[in-house]
Amino acid sequence: MSGSTFGSLFRVTNFGESHGPAIGCVIDGCPPGLELSQADIQTDLDRRRPGTSRHVTQRNEPDAVEILSGVYEGRTTGTPIALLIRNTDQRSKDYGNILDTFRPGHADYTYWRKYGLRDPRGGGRSSARLTAPMVAAGAVARKWLKAMHGTTFVGWMSQLGDVEIPFEDEAQIPLNPFFAPSAGVVERLESYMDDLRRAGDSVGAKLQVEARGMPVGLGAPLFDKLDADIAYAMMGINAVKGVEIGDGFGVVAQRGSEHGDALTPEGFDSNHAGGVLGGLSTGQDLRVSIAIKPTSSIRVPKPSINRAGEPTSVETFGRHDPCVGIRATPIAEAMLALVVIDHVLMHRAQCMDVELPVAPIAGLRPGA
Amino acid sequence: MSGSTFGSLFRVTNFGESHGPAIGCVIDGCPPGLELSQADIQTDLDRRRPGTSRHVTQRNEPDAVEILSGVYEGRTTGTPIALLIRNTDQRSKDYGNILDTFRPGHADYTYWRKYGLRDPRGGGRSSARLTAPMVAAGAVARKWLKAMHGTTFVGWMSQLGDVEIPFEDEAQIPLNPFFAPSAGVVERLESYMDDLRRAGDSVGAKLQVEARGMPVGLGAPLFDKLDADIAYAMMGINAVKGVEIGDGFGVVAQRGSEHGDALTPEGFDSNHAGGVLGGLSTGQDLRVSIAIKPTSSIRVPKPSINRAGEPTSVETFGRHDPCVGIRATPIAEAMLALVVIDHVLMHRAQCMDVELPVAPIAGLRPGA
Amino acid sequence: MSGSTFGSLFRVTNFGESHGPAIGCVIDGCPPGLELSQADIQTDLDRRRPGTSRHVTQRNEPDAVEILSGVYEGRTTGTPIALLIRNTDQRSKDYGNILDTFRPGHADYTYWRKYGLRDPRGGGRSSARLTAPMVAAGAVARKWLKAMHGTTFVGWMSQLGDVEIPFEDEAQIPLNPFFAPSAGVVERLESYMDDLRRAGDSVGAKLQVEARGMPVGLGAPLFDKLDADIAYAMMGINAVKGVEIGDGFGVVAQRGSEHGDALTPEGFDSNHAGGVLGGLSTGQDLRVSIAIKPTSSIRVPKPSINRAGEPTSVETFGRHDPCVGIRATPIAEAMLALVVIDHVLMHRAQCMDVELPVAPIAGLRPGA
Amino acid sequence: MSGSTFGSLFRVTNFGESHGPAIGCVIDGCPPGLELSQADIQTDLDRRRPGTSRHVTQRNEPDAVEILSGVYEGRTTGTPIALLIRNTDQRSKDYGNILDTFRPGHADYTYWRKYGLRDPRGGGRSSARLTAPMVAAGAVARKWLKAMHGTTFVGWMSQLGDVEIPFEDEAQIPLNPFFAPSAGVVERLESYMDDLRRAGDSVGAKLQVEARGMPVGLGAPLFDKLDADIAYAMMGINAVKGVEIGDGFGVVAQRGSEHGDALTPEGFDSNHAGGVLGGLSTGQDLRVSIAIKPTSSIRVPKPSINRAGEPTSVETFGRHDPCVGIRATPIAEAMLALVVIDHVLMHRAQCMDVELPVAPIAGLRPGA
């Protein structure tokens, strides 16, 4: 509620600022007995790390994570897991001129109005750098979900600016800097980004993220619906302006006879619903899309005002991602995993005794 | 967390089923001293009431609300406000055949899998009837927000199936059964719905909802972002599959130079952001769009299975809305109001001492 | 947090005022499939009902409970259980003179200072009448705990004013109006109360409440300790001023060699700890004591002030309990049950997979 | 709820184990603009630090705190304040033999039963060392409360074993290692502790803690009562077995005519209530007593069992406090401050608009 804790039973409390001494999080509620090492977490952190290609910010952060608590002899103990990431490449001088000016599209004005003061170094708390601890927490959730339920998470970029990216081959996703599920499109994306960088401008993107091997019945009827919590998690990622479940805005022009996913003894016939009915998981894949706005830090000048209310102009130099969507795929996967693990724990609390008279119907596999 | 409470400081706990004795809610945390009568609440309830035109369900429910507590001599006392709405027109026989069968697009299968049993009468807890107490709670929130901050909420239908509805005249919204901001489109919507009803089918819709006269700085940096909470609230409304803030999915193909709203001494120059930057309100209008799927209860037969896992076919008779989007406008307004009041109270808790050196910049008015 | 919801996973939201139209509660998070009828709840309500002996208030309330939701065909559905109790014997005139005056020992002054206005009828929200819905919710918790874990709850009066009540025979508790575990003491308690009533005065009491058949390992290490939550629940009962677990204040003068309960292959050797070590249940009986202050509504005049700050004198007529401790036993049992069920659900969420290599050591029985 | 977060609006999330790399906490919800330095926090930490006299554990921990976030240019920013304390003097060998054995009075058995495994080094998460981050968080709360409301907190030891400590001179409290408000009693306490240490035994203690300069009206009517939250906070401190507000267990034998604090135009005439009526603060001093059990780690042998369920005997060597109550005074002050600040923020959220027609009556000063 005070804004820095995510989840109800698997609770992640995030702290830090872009250019402060450190960022990190405390995970409270992780079940005991899970094998966990720093390497498990580092792998996911490295996937969102800055400086890994010329298309992302050149800030050079190793993002090395230290486990401060909650693990004993290689296993979680059920007590809070504190994760610490020291900031090592803060260059505050890059941001000196923004202390007094409100950058358009940024949170400068709103933070100042809310708090009366703000940490201007690198965007302070509003920096996308604060997604790193969420990726770290998500790595813990993903390991547990895979071990206990076989649930996995995969995301990819489906559109960059006006370039639509076809879903051709999932195996390509980790092989290019865009998380694109297509080898053929990569060259075009690279030249698109190179043009953009030369122009000093930025662009938006669309991502798809899915959960596979989902337990059935996760969620709650009225609020705490699984899809409502997914929307909350996704809209909370920096720069996200839209969220869809299943067919999303495509449902507006659909007929009921077309939309409802038929059930057969072998499973659902289709997945327009995106894996959620009435706020509860169907066991099919969760299908989520998000829209990410163009980076607000651009070299193209924009009119603005300063703290005295006088007109000025802002152009932002420094090290920025020209498309924040590029590094957002591991973030969206992590947030989806955090939603799912929270609902798994909640479901156990209330419904672990439920026994059904017949075998459950399996959800369909990807592509259905 | 157990799924029936919305909000952190202005908390609404919802109860009831479509065909049980009653539905209602308990509002905890309403500030004391607000003038409040049953009439204040009834007005909003009547806007979403069934049976008001031939285009919505013919269930005949007066939805008369009784205030059970929390009001003394016409003013709120700061203690819980319990609101009770008796169900009067339940015809359980309409739904007799669905006890054993899972209706496609409905929550029958997921509830059964979660709980091992379910109340099949009229969809039980998954019925959209449960939005009535939320509209009632929203009416209390709206009255307080208008009195204290001058904040108001307005929603309308922007698309019905494949018919786009132009925003021509806000004054038309209450004058037609579709909440359409255009007089000229109504005839076309009516014939569209008549055709649909004859075909026994249903269709989706798109709504827009806005908050005007917003305080600045509501929200929180990382989670509990204002826009994340809006996404949660909207995706939690029955049948919603997509949520957008400001330009929404339109941002994917935008450039940063185009998207960022410039600041001038007179206010923001545009409102691509939809009134939220960095998770905090800018003072501009909140601009939210939602996609509503077609009603799942249709007369067109669909393949399904029964609880024994055997194939069958479902066609739903009874009294249904052929487009649940039609009555959803007051619901979306209410949910947006509940999000805003919660954030106002939260902001007071943490930031009521903040003093700014210069006069705040006013947000721009609608249309900006 | 807004003050009317108890519990985290088995959440009870309470509403109502002493002389309003109704009181009640909404239970959210009750597991599905529990057989539940109004009679199950009424039995416990009748144990705290007013008017059952000459030693308690003569207000004549049947406290008949109506289940509004959450139960279908005699079983809980996993959705919210709303319970309604209509107020039928409100005589507001009894309290007419206290609108403007602050009764010593009552919440009149603090409510007025907090909210700026208050419902003076029968103490409004501060009335002990609001414990009735908690007893009703406790009845649901007790039924589930007994069915699932064999856990039961029993309370008794151990002291009335300066009369200590020996623990002689548990079977006597339901056979006298004082919940005294001794037949021999009843006559003395009756004459003690008769004298008190004639004097127009009131007196305090001490109660003991225990849980038996406790699961092991309930609780959490740092906060949400089982004993901390018990202290919270007990201190939240009207008029309670002290709470002890196990030996309570007796530990101050104990040596460590005397206090620590030795473990043997057959179980613990003693129960100084009261069934909690490190915030987690040991499986032994929970042992809790509470101190209840004398009723503040007395006929003996006391100096006070009115809302204008002028001196006055207060003597309270009307129908009051001369010892609120008498009817508090079923309340304390209910609150303890609500704490335990919440921790059982929480424990399932985090730790249901834990498997231990050897058979657990059974807790010892009462008296150990 | 997962057990490591305290508070609702001023939320403190605690992490760490006695012998892990570090302990610490994250404070979320601290109002912006408060001047804060590491020195402000270190002062309070030093008051509970081990190794400061021969009567407490000889573990040599500097408990140096590092502020990782939430402070910019010497002021809080409204974002999370992360505090880190590295463990530097862990000697795990001291505790080697307890891995397989359950120490009587300790949490060894309950942790093992809950989690299936445990960190045995120094008690792991159950160590009183984890109160250090709470003292640190309390220091932040205290600074804000003093600056904004003039509220201060003071605690002292009122009994050590069977030695009652008279309240003679508050100025003596910081001048002796026992937090005793009497110079004359110190020599007796020292020889008492020396005897105890020689015997290899431990003893309990009773503390009193008070808040002065309290705002009026803090709390909530039914749950989240101020006194209930105090009881929760105090019972959550390691080794606490009893909590009293005001006259505490003394109320059992009181008459109503004696207990109720009379109001006069100058304020309350007495403070039997301990500063709380109906769960809300009266503006008088909060008066709280707690009972602390004797340290469970003693050299005197005790029977126990090992993880195989076989009988054994335990005697604990190593560095322990022979009376944990000695260092508990700053902890109790900190926890009381954390309760009060949370209620101040909550009160602002709901009631900041309340205006009263007459001047508030001031609470009385200590001793009243």
Q: How confident is the prediction for chain A on average, in pLDDT?
A: 91
Residues in A closer than 8 angstroms to B269, CB to CB, are 303
Cross-chain residue pair A5–D14, CB shorter than 8 Å: no
CB nearest B104 (choices: A227, A230, A263) = A263
Per-residue model confidence (pLDDT) at position B95: 58
B11 is in an annotated binding site: no
* Subunits with 3+ C-beta pairs closer than 8 A to D: A, B, C
Q: Which residues are bridge partners to A101 per DSSP?
A: A306
Closest Cα in chain B, distance from residue C192 (Å)? 37
Cross-chain residue pair B350–D345, CB shorter than 8 Å: yes
Tokens of B123: 């969809």
Higher-pLDDT residue of A34, A368? A34
Residue D198: CB atoms within 10 Å: 10
Indicate the helix (H) or strand (E) that contains D138: helix D132-149
C-beta of residue B137 within 8 angstroms of C-beta of residue B338 = yes
Q: Which residues are bridge partners to B263 per DSSP?
A: B268
Crossing angle (nearest 10°) for helices B108-115 and A329-351: 60
Q: By the CB < 8 Å criterion, does A252 face chain C?
A: no
With cut-offs at 50, 70 and 90, classify the pLDDT of residue C92.
low
Residue B289 CB partners (closer than 8 Å, separation 6+): B158, B206, B207, B208, B209, B242, B243, B244, B248
Label residue D162 exposed, middle or buried (CB < 10 Å: 0-12, 13-18, 19+).
exposed
Architecture label for domain A91-351: 4-Layer Sandwich (3.60)
Per-residue model confidence (pLDDT) at position D40: 96
Q: List A residues 64-93 in contact with D (Cβ-Cβ < 8 A).
A: 66-70, 72, 75, 77-82, 84
D316 is in an annotated binding site: no
Cross-chain residue pair D241–C249, CB shorter than 8 Å: yes
C-beta of residue D276 within 8 angstroms of C-beta of residue D211 = no
Cross-chain residue pair C348–A349, CB shorter than 8 Å: yes
Mean pLDDT, residues B338-345: 97
Indicate the helix (H) or strand (E) that contains B345: helix B329-351
Closest-CA residue to A13 (of D226, C288, C188, D5):
D5
Backbone angles phi, psi at C318, to 5 degrees: 105, -165
Q: By the CB < 8 Å criterion, does B358 face chain A?
A: yes
Q: By the CB < 8 Å criterion, does B38 face chain C?
A: no
DSSP D170: G
Tokens of D181: 């408000």
Region of poorest pLDDT, from A22-26, B258-262, B309-313, C313-317: C313-317
Residue D96: CB atoms within 10 Å: 11
CB nearest A350 (choices: C1, C78, C354) = C78
When the candidates are 1.10.260.40, 3.40.50.1580, 3.60.150.10, 3.30.1390.10, the CATH number that belongs to D5-351 is 3.60.150.10
Residue C198 CB partners (closer than 8 Å, separation 6+): none
C-alpha torsion angle, residues D36, D37, D38, D43 (rounded to 10) = -70
Tokens 């906490």 belong to residue? D25
Tokens of A320: 């920025």
Residues in B closer than 8 angstroms to A6, CB to CB, are 223
**End-to-end alpha-carbon separation of chain D, Å?**
38
CA–CA distance, D22 with D15 (Å, rounded to integer): 8
Cross-chain residue pair A222–B125, CB shorter than 8 Å: yes
Best probe of the B interface among D76, D350, D352, D356, by most B CBs < 10 A, is: D350
Task: Please report which residue ranges of D166-283 form alpha helices under DSSP H.
Answer: 186-199, 226-235, 256-259
When the candidates are 3.40.50.300, 2.60.40.10, 3.60.150.10, 3.30.470.20, the CATH number that belongs to B92-351 is 3.60.150.10
CA–CA distance, D318 with D93 (Å, rounded to integer): 9
C-beta of residue A192 within 8 angstroms of C-beta of residue A160 = yes
pLDDT > 90: percent of chain A: 76
Cross-chain residue pair C78–A351, CB shorter than 8 Å: yes
Closest Cα in chain C, distance from residue D279 (Å)? 8
C278 is in an annotated binding site: yes
Helices and strands (H and E) in chain A: how many: 7, 18
Task: Output b/e per residue, B58-76; b: 16+ Cβ within 10 A.
Answer: ebebebebebbbbbbeebb
Domain boundaries, chain C: 5-351
What single letter denotes the amino acid at residue A364? Answer: L
Q: List D residues 116-135 in contact with A (Cβ-Cβ < 8 A).
A: 116-119, 121, 124-125
Q: By the CB < 8 Å criterion, does B16 face chain A?
A: no
C295 is in an annotated binding site: yes
Per-residue model confidence (pLDDT) at position A93: 58
Question: pTM of this prediction?
Answer: 0.96
CA–CA distance, C103 with C101 (Å, rounded to integer): 6
Residues in C closer than 8 angstroms to B116, CB to CB, are 32-33
Radius of gyration (C-alpha) of chain C in whole angstroms? 21
Binding site residue list of A for FMN: 125-127, 238-239, 278, 293-297, 319
Per-residue model confidence (pLDDT) at position D48: 85
Tokens of A230: 């997914």
Cross-chain residue pair D216–C113, CB shorter than 8 Å: yes
CA–CA distance, B161 with A251 (Å, rounded to integer): 8
Closest-CA residue to C304 (of C22, C112, C76, C19):
C112
Q: By the CB < 8 Å criterion, does A291 face chain B?
A: yes
Question: Per this entry, what is the length of chain B?
Answer: 368
Q: List A residues 324-353 in contact with D (Cβ-Cβ < 8 A).
A: none
Cross-chain residue pair B293–A254, CB shorter than 8 Å: yes
CA–CA distance, D114 with C348 (Å, rounded to integer): 10
pLDDT tens digits, A272-310: 999 999 999 999 999 999 999 999 888 889 999 988 888
Label residue B262 exposed, middle or buried (CB < 10 Å: 0-12, 13-18, 19+).
middle
Per-residue model confidence (pLDDT) at position A352: 85
CA geometry: angle A91, A94, A99, nearest 5 deg: 110
Residues in A closer than 8 angstroms to C70, CB to CB, are none
D259 to each of A58, C43, C97, C292, how far by Cα in Å? 71, 34, 22, 11
CA–CA distance, A70 with D17 (Å, rounded to integer): 8
Q: Which residues are bridge partners to B11 per DSSP?
A: B28
Cross-chain residue pair C31–A79, CB shorter than 8 Å: no
C126 is in an annotated binding site: yes
DSSP-assigned states of every residue in D74-100: TEE-SS-EEEEEE-----GGGGGGGSS
CA–CA distance, B280 with A3 (Å, rounded to integer): 11
Closest Cα in chain D, distance from residue B346 (Å)? 6
* Subunits with 3+ C-beta pairs closer than 8 A to A: B, C, D
A237 to each of A230, A293, A316, A331, C232, how far by Cα in Å? 11, 11, 22, 8, 37
D4 is in an annotated binding site: no
CB nearest B256 (choices: A201, A232, A355) = A201
CB nearest B15 (choices: C82, C117, C121) = C82
Cross-chain residue pair C309–D269, CB shorter than 8 Å: no
Per-residue model confidence (pLDDT) at position B364: 33
Cross-chain residue pair A236–B346, CB shorter than 8 Å: no
User: For each of chain D's 368 residues, which pLDDT tens digit applies?
Assistant: 568 999 999 999 999 999 999 999 999 999 999 999 999 999 999 998 877 788 888 777 888 999 999 999 999 999 999 999 999 876 655 555 667 889 999 999 999 999 988 888 888 999 999 999 999 999 999 999 999 999 999 999 999 999 999 999 999 999 999 999 999 999 999 999 999 999 999 999 999 999 999 999 999 999 999 999 999 999 999 999 999 999 999 999 999 999 999 999 888 999 999 999 999 999 999 999 999 999 988 888 999 998 888 899 988 777 778 899 999 999 999 999 999 999 999 999 999 888 765 444 544 333 33
Across chain A, which distance is largest between two alpha carbons, in Å?
Answer: 71
Closest Cα in chain D, distance from residue B30 (Å)? 7
CB nearest A115 (choices: B255, B263, B354) = B354
CA within 13 Å, CB half, B2: 31
Tokens of C308: 């204008």
B125 is in an annotated binding site: yes
Best probe of the D interface among A11, A27, A36, A68, by most D CBs < 10 A, is: A68
pLDDT tens digits, A125-166: 999 999 999 999 999 999 999 999 999 999 999 999 999 999
Q: Is the pLDDT of residue C347 over 70?
A: yes
Backbone angles phi, psi at C361, to 5 degrees: -85, 130
CA–CA distance, A195 with A187 (Å, rounded to integer): 13
B100 to each of A284, A361, B117, B312, D351, how far by Cα in Å? 22, 15, 11, 11, 51
DSSP-assigned states of every residue in A208-277: EEEEESPPSS-B-SSSS-HHHHHHHHHHTSTTEEEEEETTGGGGGG-BHHHHSPPEETTEES--TT-SEE
Q: By the CB < 8 Å criterion, does D5 face chain C?
A: yes
CB nearest D77 (choices: A5, A67, A118) = A118
Per-residue model confidence (pLDDT) at position B307: 83
| Closest residue on chain A to C350 (Cα) | A31
Q: By the CB < 8 Å criterion, does B275 face chain A?
A: no
Cross-chain residue pair A148–C353, CB shorter than 8 Å: yes
Q: By the CB < 8 Å criterion, does B262 face chain C?
A: no
Q: Is the ipTM of this complex over 0.85?
A: yes
What single letter denotes the amino acid at residue D37? Answer: S
Residues in B closer than 8 angstroms to A361, CB to CB, are 109, 305, 309
Closest Cα in chain A, distance from residue B80 (Å)? 19
Tokens of B294: 């077609």
Q: By the CB < 8 Å criterion, does C201 face chain D?
A: yes
Backbone angles phi, psi at C175, to 5 degrees: -95, 0
Crossing angle (nearest 10°) for helices C132-149 and C329-351: 50
Higher-pLDDT residue of A253, C3? A253
Per-residue model confidence (pLDDT) at position C1: 53
Residues in A closer than 8 angstroms to B265, CB to CB, are 305, 309-311
What single letter denotes the amino acid at residue B26? Answer: V
